[in-house]
Amino acid sequence: TTGQAEGMMCSFAQVNGVPSCASPYLKKYIRDEWKSDCFIMSDCCDAITSIWNQHHYAKNLEGAVVDAVKAGTQLAYSLGSELAHIRTAFQAALNDKRLTETDLNDAVQRIFETRFKLGEFDPSNPFNAHSQIPNLNTEGNRKLAREVAAESSVLLVNNDKLLPLQPNQQGKQIAVIGPFSACAYNRNNR
């Protein structure tokens, strides 16, 4: 809290069986103990939907959205069709009165306060939402990206010839353990 962060992110993880984006600890610590008025956003892509479909904490996506908002999560960092499903679930929760206009206003207010502080709506700010994004795909930037990638590469020692993994090797098995082990979702297939 001494750094006065404008935003915090809840993760995919669970604490005591409760997904972090649906945890009462968000309000207990961030709001009550730390006295922070920052906005809280979900981790990218599936942190809200995982409350329902991975952690099985909520009965459905609408329940996951309600749990997240009531816990203090104000922004779903999601992409594509997932975001559309979250919007639909949020609207259904408003219609069913499981979420209130006050819940919505609290979330929107915290997010827009930060956006205004950043000058996002100031026409004189070259980085506002309406400014032209410069071309970052330049030869100089590509060269720099290659240099950074080369300098940050890590080589693995492969003494026992474990890598590369080969399909259908007799007697070789890999255990995938954890709450997402049954998930066939691949982020590269978006």
Report the catalytic residues. Answer: 43
> C-alpha distances in angstroms, 164 versus 94, 160, 167, 177, 188?
50, 11, 10, 20, 19
Q: Report helix angle 61-71 to 101-117, nearest 10.
A: 60
Residue 136, phi then psi, degrees to nearest 5: -95, -10
How far is Cα 107 from Cα 53, in angstroms, rounded to an integer? 24
